[in-house]
Amino acid sequence: MASKLFHLLTIPFFVILPFFASLSYVYAADSNSTGAVSPATVCISTPYPSYCKSVLPNKNADVHDYGRFSFRKSLSQSSRFLNLVDGYLQRRSSLPAATIRALEDCRILTGLNIDFLSISVVHVDKTNGTLPDSEADDVKTMLSAIITNQQTCLDSLRETAGSDSSLTNELSGPLSNDTKLNSVSLALFTKGWVPRKRTWKPRKHVTFRHGRLPFRMSNRTRAVFESLGRRKLLQTVDEISVSDIVIVNKDGSGNFTTINDAINAAPNNSVSTDGYFLIYVTAGVYEEYVSIAKNKKYLFIVGDGINQTIITGNRSVADGSTTFNSATFAVVAPGFVAADITFRNTAGAIKHQAVAVRNGADLSAFYSCSFEAYQDTLYTHSLRQFYRECDIYGTVDFIFGNAAVVLQNCNIYPRLPMAGQYNPITAQGRTDPNQNTGISIHNCTIKAAADLASSNTSVKTYLGRPWKEYSRTVYMQSFMDSLINAAGWREWDGDFALSTLYYAEYNNTGPGSDTTNRVTWPGYHVINATADAAIFTVSNFLLGDAWLPQTGVPYTGDLI
């Protein structure tokens, strides 16, 4: 992951909450949150009390007034930081290529933050009380992503610090302050707008459905849809609506010969009621770097199956990319769905960080896809994501990031790493105790890939290690083969994050699932209560019942 550097947060002891208080929906509006208090009083509940006190107006107010002030200041500072980055990019001819790539990462990420903050301001202006569950979850998700985006910008700058250390130092200061401010905003939002208890109740069943066609399809489009409908994916669809279909075929017989051309033809800023713009990518190897921008919303890309439709590239940190822009396939547009595709990064283990897919798309789903690389294969970067019946191959930290993500019914295949390396499967990147993020691995199978299984080399494989201070990963009802080390989990650096992380296992099976000799860290838990494990299900952790049915991707909402 990005440069393998971490940014230590200075958190007062009283902010480090016990297990349930660290879960995404248990942080709740304080019953006294409407009373006018001093900045010093309200700032006690934030991760940075001193910084919080220094930026809030020096007068008594309630948490909602303080929160709205903090949001607007965050928006102003993000705009200022974007102008600073743009100023450097205007002088790109004098900058090293690696520095330009890091600045471009920061520009993309800061632009997203401005969007998220602008939307969030509208929500918090609505009320001096709590928001409905789904609305509160939307805002908390965006605020969590803002902090992640700032950390990623910092990681990219650090990865390229050798090319221009003075620029990195100049940007790190304002970036650090902006991160603190957004952490304050998230804490105040949690205190003032998040309901104490949810009123929304998840469904308790598996979702399977049957296909329906929109009426405005052309005859040719209808024929393609009906052909796809005979396949496994679209046989499960009930409410999927498709506005149009285009075909990508390298031989020229479709609408386009490249995936990027098809994406460029998609409408901008669609909404969910418009239906998906469906891109059918026929079998073949597509040597393309695909990046789906934020305005290409509600795309649905379907291939001809794993190892039939293949999107491949070979960018890596070793060859000058940042981790963020090393991805063969990247998406930030919300409402994205992919099915029946293999995504590869062929840089190899020797090139270290080399991402196959980077996903920062809210309410996104991947179904029956394969992700193939070595270090840092699947970058579940931010926002809410779901993966079903996918295959993930890799070595070091090959499922990583700071999204709220559930992997369900997937196959996880650790590969043979370089000599001297070990395999941590996950490296979750939560940096703030109020972020509603984490990796939930549910009903998956963990077995050695063919190269590791046939190797005579002894390779230690672990369930994960803490990339960031509040790293959170849970394995539930999954099969773990004997390759999993008895300790289960591995340190990142000494005792870093061992008391602030949250790692847990619940009702797993297989020879690698024995918890008898697991680590004894304060943050590690064996979950015995079903109610505790249910927090990390699709219905609770992602509020998946509200958005997954329209994707057509099957899912299990609760525990099996």
Q: How far is residue 150's CA from residue 146's CA, in Å, rounded to a whole number?
A: 6
Q: How far is residue 522's CA from residue 9's CA, in Å, rounded to a whole number?
A: 18
Q: How far is residue 479's CA from residue 409's CA, in Å, rounded to a whole number?
A: 10
Q: How far is residue 17's CA from residue 422's CA, in Å, rounded to a whole number?
A: 32
3-class SS at 236?
Answer: helix
Cα→Cα distances 6→158, 178, 322, 465, Å: 10, 17, 15, 13
Rounded to the nearest 10 degrees, how much is the dihedral formed by the CA atoms of 302, 308, 311, 315?
A: 150
Question: Among residues 49, 52, 7, which one has the least CA distance to residue 172?
Answer: 7
> Which one from 133, 155, 340, 397 is the annotated catalytic residue?
397
- What is the biggest distance separating any 2 CA atoms in the chain, rounded to whole angstroms? 69
Q: How far is residue 151's CA from residue 402's CA, in Å, rounded to a whole number?
A: 10
DSSP string, 134-190: HHHHHHHHHHHHHHHHHHHHHHHHHHTTTT-HHHHHHHHHHHHHHHHHHHHHHHHHH
Residue 348 has φ and ψ, to the nearest 5°, of 90, 165
Q: How far is residue 492's CA from residue 464's CA, in Å, rounded to a whole number?
A: 9
Neighbours of 412 (CB within 10 A): 26
Residue 65 annotated among the catalytic residues of the structure:
no
Task: Tell me the one-letter amino acid at 94.
Answer: S
CB 395 within 8 A of CB 349: yes
- DSSP alpha helix (H) spans, 374-471: 450-453
Residue 313 has φ and ψ, to the nearest 5°, of -155, 180
- Catalytic residues, by residue number, are 397
